[in-house]
Amino acid sequence: MSVPPAPHEIPADVVHLEDYARHAQARLHPAVWAYLSGGAGDELTLTANQQAWQSIKLLPRVLRTLHGGHTHTTLLGQSLSHPIMLAPVASHRLAHPDGELGVAYAAAAQEAGMILSTQASTRLEEVGQAFLHEPGHGPLWMQLYVQHDRAFTLELVRRAEAAGYQALVITVDAPTSGARDRERRAHFQLPAELAQVNLQGMATRNTPPQGSDPLFDGLMAHATTWDDIAWLRANTHLPMVLKGVLHADDARQAQQLGIQGLIVSNHGGRTLDTAVSTAWALPRIADAVGQDLELIVDGGIRRGTDVLKALALGAQAVLIGRPYVYALATSGALGVAHVLRLLRDELAIAMALTGCKTLADIHPGLLIQDGSGAIGA
């Protein structure tokens, strides 16, 4: 299941993000492709994420003065050249031997923010050193699954703090894996040589008593709760962002705990199939929390127009996941940088063609939902 190094060139027929998918599929082992590209169940949520952005239409403005326009923004007090970040994805070395280090160099070169997965195949310290030593880099955040070994979890937090990570992203929507049929049909297993190195040394989880439910009395007995979020909040100086919030009541509860940001996400359709699309959930979360929380959204973002729509619906930034992993598999770090450049350029084009000089000019009045009327009307 080993992956040969990708050629350090971009295929001539790649002109937008989705073009990388077919090249990646051709290069990767079928089981790895199933793991990276698949979703839960019938993959309805996976499909709905993209369709939801596509169903929103743009109502452009013309003859605006746009000289001096830009895509700059801030997030958690950190400056970004553009509102596009790389989502946490496990085991980058499944796609390319350079793994997370290649991704880090590419993201830093394109001034993009990066969120490193707890389940990375490279130590978090190595990624931090590679990313933060590059001039012009964007924010570097650490994604965290709260482990059953809470002491080990706190040790991970201390390592991230010491390595220069600027925020913690706590994934809250995956206390158990989804029923990923495509992955199971392909019999995917993580190769031993691609161990999740940041989790080495953690205590083994206790086996549930005989006759008990293996899910509810096993895995879920150690699942993260709001009490754990409050405990983490009290034990780190880093800003905290919750990833995987779709319900307005959960957003309000996070707000009450002093959480600084939310990522509106359904885990890329990989956990609960038929969960709502992120484009549907985003404006409802924005309405629930007002201006007090920074909002980020992922799930199906494939075009610069999708980024503009997300910002119009209340997000301050977006995450992409699968597209940059496909690009990594196809062209290594160069492919990742290319994906970020394509999306940033498309966003700038969309802004110019809708009359938006800066991100602050993007608003719901630019959007039409399936011809039924302006969303911001």
Please list the active-site residues.
267
According to DSSP, the residues that pair with 111 across neighbouring strands are none
The full length of the chain comes to 377
What DSSP element (H or E) covers 130? helix 124-132
Task: Write the CA distances from 82 to 143, 184, 187, 210, integer angstroms.
Answer: 21, 37, 39, 53
- β-pairing, 367-369 with 56-58? antiparallel
Task: Give the largest Cα separation in the chain, rounded.
Answer: 71
266: left (phi over 0), alpha (psi -120 to 50) or beta: alpha
336: left (phi over 0), alpha (psi -120 to 50) or beta: alpha
Nearest to 366 by CA among 356, 315, 358: 356
Amino acid at 21: A
Distance CA 305, CA 311 (A): 10
Nearest to 238 by CA among 102, 337, 141: 141
According to DSSP, the residues that pair with 114 across neighbouring strands are 86, 140
Q: If you compute the radius of gyration of the chain from its CA atoms, what whole number of angstroms results?
A: 20
**Owner of token pair 């969309």:** 350
User: What values do phi and psi take at 25, rounded to 5?
Assistant: -60, -35
